[in-house]
């Protein structure tokens, strides 16, 4: 057991899975000799060679398409999109091919493909390197979407995604890569897909969130605890399909629910979470379901102060929790 960064946990997971299963290989832009722009695949090229750590042209549709083809041949590709912002050229491959493969072939074929993609803002990335893309794919049955919030979960969830027999979109928060550190066991463990995780037990307000926001929410909860406000924190971890059971029981726990996402508000994953709660928990609710999210503006601004204004900030979350607690 040692303290690792979020990105080190990703690399560990890739290394362990490639070591364990000859069918696992990675492909993407600059993943080989370069070790990836964020160094997620660092050292893998040296260890497993160019046939299993494959550099590709700047063509996301090809990265996804090759991955799907290889997966149909029994391999377990881990395709990297350099930034999730550039996934859209691959959207046709992902949505119309990978997601529907098992259904369309009457269960004869499946596409055990994992697509890794760094996402999120607050890294001075501007319009094309800051987006949250999860909502675009979060109503495509056949896909799974995973967003880990801690180094431990990142390793366990990536290993589970690689072993899953259907396509998984695995979003990694860029800011989390080197910001978040935590204990990561060197043992072979997986964190199950489709299961949300209670990151903190509380009785006054329930916060349901995912990704980097889990970190901000936990910090806010820590500060609010000193004021006597007890916050229950549920980390969705798999944001599609949602773990309805955990969402319902977390909402019922306090009857006051705050949903937090870094994505823009309207039509975000939270909207679906809110609908699940509204459908199932009416008689447990003690306050309106509240959301904290980015403004409904086209993109994360490049200018520093504007970027800060756009991002969901820890103080904003703290204020919203306090507001609900006092309601």
Q: Which residues are known to be catalytic?
A: 129
Q: What angle separates helix 269-280 from helix 244-254, to the nearest 10 degrees?
A: 70
The encoded tokens of residue 2 equal 């040692």
Within positions 239 to 278, which residues make up the interface with another protein, using CB under 8 A? 254-256
Stretch near another protein under the rule CB under 8 A, chosen from 93-101, 103-111, 163-171, 282-290? 282-290
The encoded tokens of residue 64 equal 């996804």
Within positions 171 to 230, which residues make up the interface with another protein, using CB under 8 A? 203-204
Measured CA to CA, the distance from residue 33 to residue 15 in angstroms comes to: 15
3-state secondary structure 59-92: CHHHHHHHHHHHHHCCCEEEEECCCHHHHHHHHH
Q: What is the enclosing helix (H) or strand (E) of 12?
A: helix 6-20
Q: What angle do CA 272, 193, 67 make, to 5 degrees?
A: 100
* Binding test (CB under 8 A) with another protein, winner from 51, 57, 282, 298: 282
Instruction: Output 286 or 296, the one with its CB closest to another protein.
Output: 286
Instruction: Output 174 or 256, the one with its CB closest to another protein.
Output: 256
Q: How far is the CB of 293 from another protein (least distance, A)?
A: 23
Q: Counting contacts by CB under 8 A, is residue 319 touching another protein?
A: no
* Binding test (CB under 8 A) with another protein, winner from 2, 283, 304, 305: 283
Q: How far is the CB of 276 from another protein (least distance, A)?
A: 16
Stretch near another protein under the rule CB under 8 A, chosen from 41-49, 113-121, 241-249, 279-287? 279-287
Measured CA to CA, the distance from residue 305 to residue 130 in angstroms comes to: 15
**Footprint on this chain of another protein (rule: CB under 8 A):** 203-204, 254-256, 282-287, 326-327
């Amino acid at each position: 057991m040692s303290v690792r960064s979020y990105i080190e946990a990703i690399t560990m997971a890739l290394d362990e899975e490639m070591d364990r299963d000859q069918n696992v290989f990675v492909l993407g832009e600059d993943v080989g000799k370069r070790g990836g722009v964020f160094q997620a695949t660092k050292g893998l090229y040296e260890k497993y060679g160019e046939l299993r750590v494959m550099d590709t042209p700047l063509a996301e549709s090809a990265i996804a398409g090759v991955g799907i083809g290889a997966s149909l041949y029994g391999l377990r590709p881990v395709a990297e999109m350099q930034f999730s912002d550039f996934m859209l050229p691959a959207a046709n491959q992902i949505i119309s091919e990978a997601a529907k493969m098992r259904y369309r072939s009457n269960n004869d074929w499946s596409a055990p493909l994992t697509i890794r993609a760094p996402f999120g803002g607050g890294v001075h990335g501007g319009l094309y390197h800051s987006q949250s893309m999860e909502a675009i794919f979060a109503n495509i049955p056949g896909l799974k979407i995973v967003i880990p919030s801690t180094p431990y979960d990142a390793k366990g969830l990536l290993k589970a995604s690689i072993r899953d027999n259907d396509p998984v979109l695995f979003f990694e928060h860029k800011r989390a890569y080197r910001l978040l550190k935590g204990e990561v066991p060197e043992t072979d463990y997986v964190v199950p897909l489709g299961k949300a995780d209670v990151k903190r037990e509380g009785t006054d307000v329930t916060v349901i969130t995912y990704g980097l926001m889990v970190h901000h929410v936990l910090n806010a909860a820590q500060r609010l605890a000193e004021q006597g406000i007890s916050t229950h924190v549920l980390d969705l971890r798999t944001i599609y399909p949602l773990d309805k059971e955990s969402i319902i029981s977390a909402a019922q726990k306090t009857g006051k629910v705050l949903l937090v996402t870094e994505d823009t508000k309207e039509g975000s994953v939270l909207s679906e979470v809110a609908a699940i709660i509204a459908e199932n928990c009416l008689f447990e609710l003690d306050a309106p379901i509240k959301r904290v999210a980015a403004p409904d503006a086209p993109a994360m601004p490049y200018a520093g102060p504007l970027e800060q204004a756009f991002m969901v900030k820890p103080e904003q979350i703290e204020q919203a929790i306090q507001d609900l607690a006092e309601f």
